[in-house]
Amino acid sequence: MTPHMLTRSLDRGATIFLLVVATIGVLIPLSNLLLPSGSFLHVPTYLVALWGKYVCYAILALSIDLIWGYCGILSLGHGAFFALGGYAMGMYLMRQIGTRGVYGNPILPDFMVFLNYPKLPWYWHGFDMFWFAALMVIVVPGLLAFCFGWLAFRSRVTGVYLSIITQAMTYALLLGFFRNDFGFGGNNGLTDFKDILGFNVQADGTRATLFLLSCLALIIGFLICRAIVSSKLGKVLIAIRDAESRTRFLGYRVESYKLFVFTVSACMAGVAGALYVPQVGIINPSEFAPGNSIEAVIWVAVGGRGTLVGAALGAVVVNYAKTFFTSGVLAPYWLFMLGALFILVTLLLPKGIVGTFNSWWEPMRAKRVSGAAESAAAENGVSEPKMAE
Amino acid sequence: MLANLPARLRTLALSLFLIAFALPAAAGPFEDAVAKFANDDFSDTDAAIGVVASSGNPLAYPIISALKDGRLMADADSKKVYVTGTDGKSVDAATGEAVASVPASASAVRLNNRLRRSVDAALGGLTLLSPDVGTRIQAAQSVFKSHEESALPVVDNALAKETNRSAKTALSEARAAILLYKPDASEVDKLEAVATIKGRGDQEAMALLTGIGSDQPASVKAGAASAIASIQSSLAVWSGVQNAWYGLSLGSVLLLAAIGLAITFGVMGVINMAHGEMVMIGAYTTFVVQEVIRTRYPGLFDYSLLIAVPLAFLVAGAIGVLIERSIIRFLYGRPLETLLATWGLSLVLQQAVRTMFGPTNREVGNPSWMSGAFELGQITITYNRLWILVFTLAVFAILLAMLRYTALGLEMRAVTQNRRMAASMGIATSRVDALTFGLGSGIAGIAGVALSQIDNVSPNLGQSYIIDSFMVVVFGGVGNLWGTLVGAFTLGIANKFLEPVAGAVLGKIAILVLIILFIQKRPRGLFALKGRAVEA
């Protein structure tokens, strides 16, 4: 990825978005750590953790938008990749507890002692090292997505069929992780974390750093997505979204493109989950619930499918609304609102917030630009050739 | 129980009296035995139980059952024993005369585990002569399990008198069990006993045969071993049959839930995520119907389901048409958006029902003709499961006939095969769509009526079936009801056969994984529509 590619791929909206994320990423931790708690501008620690959660959701939304908005793959199982990344991080955090657990076993996490595990299951080995866990955060979801996608795309499972089997995948994982003998803490999941890389996960400084890192991950993820969708590869992806058969007949190996973008997206979701777990302090099987994955899709739909900025924005807006409404007297009506959001956005706002804004803003800007261009063209005597449909 | 005690005593006395060898209610031994209860000595109590049980005295049953429940009071000073009824009235155990009150010095006769066994055996022996066939069979079963040697004379005696066939079988099995465990029984008797027990062929028979001691004659041991082997193989067959039955039952539930989905998906290419909520609405309709019947017309309770079926169809169908007209019709050609919108709708419907009926489970009763069970060989078949299977097949047949022979069915098939050509031939496709959606939802509604009989009626009822229903539709193939039928029963049976091997959850996971792999081979399901129509 050359710097040239990056600059080329940034339009004004993207630049504003990156600046906003970077500013928030720096200002919120600073305000939390430096300002006195009585100050008007002080951000309390719980808000830092809450916004950290939103940022992780934004990364997840970005990963869904990459495949749904640009390649037409509607995955109803992306929560599974998110949760797998989260579990990989959770396993590392569990191993860091060491002898401070209730049972004081230096190797086995509490739930294993409780469930009479004789020794550590083989798949828990290596998770005491951060680098290994960090690798697994990307590798495990990526590998699952690769295998699943390889099977699905090769046999041309598309559209709603794909959506349904991705849902079945996350449902199967949900059932599996609920089992005690699966070795991931069963119903209770992994929790009661102490340290991450030697820093206390509860400390203000750690939370602020995690928030900063999440914002950084959002920026990097955004840049990666941006680079993908604005490259030639991205053009092929859009072609697949709009006319899959035609693209195949033009000689492109559709399934390879889909597989690539699906795997990248799953890795991103895994990273989002890994950043989410230390900030929330728990990971349990309910993260695999099919409902969660579908909810993440609606964030993208609200923000604007096929606009990366919109996906991130939608995640934050919907989750902010969720926090706002579920904590007040309106709590019983939240599901009505969420349901109505699903229906109204698909019916009335199919392009989402950002898409609608763009389609309103673009003609105005085009008029301004073309006004300038016309005078320039009149001087040069050439006119812009019109793009064929 | 106590209200009918005198009547029971009389019949008991009569039946005991009719037995040829029954002892006349002699004053001496019976009263002596009863007095022994007051000694507060376990071996005396044991002896007393034996004598009382075989005395034929009408008081034997109340005394021993009182002993079992700790209601037999003994006064060590006066050597008097009293039976205290559950209503607090007491009688003298030896004479049966009512007494005003039990002396304060009396205490309940104590039992230990060995005595409890003899009490059970004695009670079993006493009820062996009950006039009620069911009680007799039950008593024979309990003797079979306890195989207490002391019960042998009573069993022999009851056997001689027995006329009912199944009671006779149960008694002879009980006799065989006793003989098998009786140390001084002849080898011939024991071999015969093994054969009788083998004929019974269930888990208990096997436990009994496995439990014989090593001091048995060699021929008996060999006979028992071969009997165990044959019971084992027959049990394996029966457990296969049982799994198949459970599978059929699960399959019928899946079919009922999926059939409406298959229609809407087949005809309109629409994934209706709110389908499960239509099932739930059907179940709640049943609840409302039953509530009305309970409060207004209690006599109609047995007909509540017959009333609920058409009502649920209408309610869910009307809601379905409403949904189609207000939401789905604007989303044709955008299946993924339809999926999201209907998911949102399912959230709204769930929350609406939660607000109206509360989040907890609502009680829906089984009418009398749906409760209970019957035995078929070694398996138990409950009536509600059986009726649901019959009902599902009936719905399936009606639907099939409707698609085949009615104008709407013809139009629906035409739209499924080629929407644009159907429209060119003058079929009002949007009307067909609305009716199809209504029909699919209505069938989901009647599925809800059936499911209310076997599942909890809660706002989450539909959610638990939706993924399974999708799996059935995807597995069976779209646009073909037979595919849905085969898919549902295949998944149901496969699930139930995997369950004992892998456990319920792992079995389910295995099924999901198998379906995901199956889709690789046949992306359009088991029975795919052939031709160009498929490629949307």
pLDDT digits (tens, 9 = 90+) for B417-440: 888 888 999 999 889 989 999 999
How many other CB atoms are found less than 10 A from the CB of residue B413? 15
pLDDT in tens, A134-159: 999 999 999 999 999 998 898 888 88
The C-alpha atoms of residue A176 and residue B189 are separated, in whole angstroms, by 54
| Phi–psi pair at B216, nearest 5 degrees | -80, 155
User: Can you give the pLDDT at residue B18?
Assistant: 45
How many other CB atoms are found less than 10 A from the CB of residue A165? 25
Which among B351, B512, B523 is the nearest to A172, CB-wise? B512
The C-alpha atoms of residue A78 and residue A161 are separated, in whole angstroms, by 15
**Which residue in chain A has the smallest CA separation from B358?**
A332
In chain A, what residues touch B523 (CB-CB under 8 Å)?
A: 155-157, 161
Question: Which amino acid is residue A81, in one-letter code?
Answer: F
Most confident stretch, A297-311, B366-380, B489-503: A297-311
What is the nearest CA distance from A242 to chain B, expressed in angstroms? 12
Binary contact (A160, B519; C-beta < 8 A): no
In chain B, what residues touch A68 (CB-CB under 8 Å)?
A: 336
User: Would you call A283 helix, strand, or coil by DSSP?
Assistant: strand
Q: Are the C-beta atoms of A266 and A147 separated by less than 8 Å? A: no
Least confident of A100-114, A214-228, B147-161: B147-161
Long-range (24+ apart) CB contacts under 8 A made by B136-141 are B136/B162, B136/B164, B136/B167, B136/B170, B136/B171, B137/B166, B137/B167, B137/B170, B140/B167, B140/B170, B140/B171, B140/B173, B140/B174, B141/B170, B141/B174
Give the tokens for residue A368: 């301004």
Binary contact (B347, A151; C-beta < 8 A): no
**Which residue in chain B has the smallest CA separation from A342?**
B344
What is the pTM assigned to this prediction?
A: 0.76
CA angle B277, B281, B284 (to 5 degrees): 135
pLDDT in tens, B188-210: 888 888 888 888 877 778 777 77
Residues ≥6 apart with Cβ < 8 Å to A109:
A94, A95, A97, A101, A185, A190
DSSP state, residue B37: G
The C-alpha atoms of residue A90 and residue A273 are separated, in whole angstroms, by 10
Which among A168, A343, A350 is the nearest to B345, CB-wise? A343
**Interface-testing mutation among A160, A181, A336, A338, with chain B (most B C-beta atoms within 10 A):** A160
Q: Is the dihedral of CA B384, B386, B390, B392 positive or negative?
A: positive
Average pLDDT, rounded, for chain A: 87
Binary contact (B337, A350; C-beta < 8 A): yes
The C-alpha atoms of residue B484 and residue B469 are separated, in whole angstroms, by 9
Is A220 at the interface with chain B, CB within 8 A?
no
Which among B334, B508, B523 is the nearest to A156, CB-wise? B523
**Which residue in chain B has the smallest CA separation from A160?**
B336
Residue with the bigger pLDDT between B49 and B527: it is B49
pLDDT in tens, B203-253: 778 777 777 777 777 788 888 888 888 888 888 888 888 888 988 988 998
pLDDT greater than 50 at residue B74: yes
Q: Do the interacting molecules here have an ipTM over 0.90?
A: no
Give the tokens for residue B197: 């027990």
Residue with the bigger pLDDT between B441 and B517: it is B441
The C-alpha atoms of residue B271 and residue B183 are separated, in whole angstroms, by 70
Binary contact (A159, B335; C-beta < 8 A): yes
pLDDT greater than 80 at residue A46: yes
Binary contact (B505, A178; C-beta < 8 A): yes
Most confident stretch, A24-28, A110-114, A379-383, B370-374: A24-28
Q: E strands along chain A, which residues?
A: 190-191, 195-196, 199-200, 282-283
**Which residue in chain A has the smallest CA separation from B522?**
A155
What is the nearest CA distance from A146 to chain B, expressed in angstroms? 14
Residues ≥6 apart with Cβ < 8 Å to B125:
B53, B54, B139, B143, B150, B151, B154, B155
Helix, strand, coil distribution of chain B in percent, nearest 5? 70, 5, 25
Is A224 at the interface with chain B, CB within 8 A?
no
The C-alpha atoms of residue B499 and residue B303 are separated, in whole angstroms, by 36
pLDDT greater than 80 at residue B105: no
Binary contact (B474, A176; C-beta < 8 A): no
In chain A, what residues touch B348 (CB-CB under 8 Å)?
A: 335-336, 339-340, 343
In chain A, what residues touch B349 (CB-CB under 8 Å)?
A: 339
pLDDT greater than 50 at residue A4: yes
What is the nearest CA distance from B342 to chain A, expressed in angstroms? 7
What is the nearest CA distance from B366 to chain A, expressed in angstroms? 31
Which among B344, B467, B513 is the nearest to A343, CB-wise? B344
**Interface-testing mutation among A68, A76, A165, with chain B (most B C-beta atoms within 10 A):** A165
Q: Are the C-beta atoms of B449 and B285 separated by less than 8 Å? A: yes
Radius of gyration, CA atoms only, chain A: 23
Question: Which amino acid is residue A381, in one-letter code?
Answer: G
Give mean pLDDT, residues B457-473: 86
Is A156 at the interface with chain B, CB within 8 A?
yes
Helix (H) or strand (E) holding B276: helix B275-295
The C-alpha atoms of residue A173 and residue B471 are separated, in whole angstroms, by 16
φ/ψ bin of B515: left (φ > 0), alpha (ψ from -120 to 50), beta (otherwise): alpha
Which among A171, A290, A347 is the nearest to B327, CB-wise? A347
pLDDT in tens, A187-204: 888 988 888 888 888 888
pLDDT in tens, B483-496: 899 999 998 998 88
What is the nearest CA distance from A186 to chain B, expressed in angstroms? 13
Is A147 at the interface with chain B, CB within 8 A?
no
pLDDT greater than 80 at residue B150: no
Percentage of chain A beyond pLDDT 90 is: 51
Average pLDDT, rounded, for chain B: 81
Which among A152, A290, A333 is the nearest to B467, CB-wise? A290
The C-alpha atoms of residue B314 and residue B317 are separated, in whole angstroms, by 5
In chain A, what residues touch B487 (CB-CB under 8 Å)?
A: none
**Which residue in chain A has the smallest CA separation from B270?**
A160
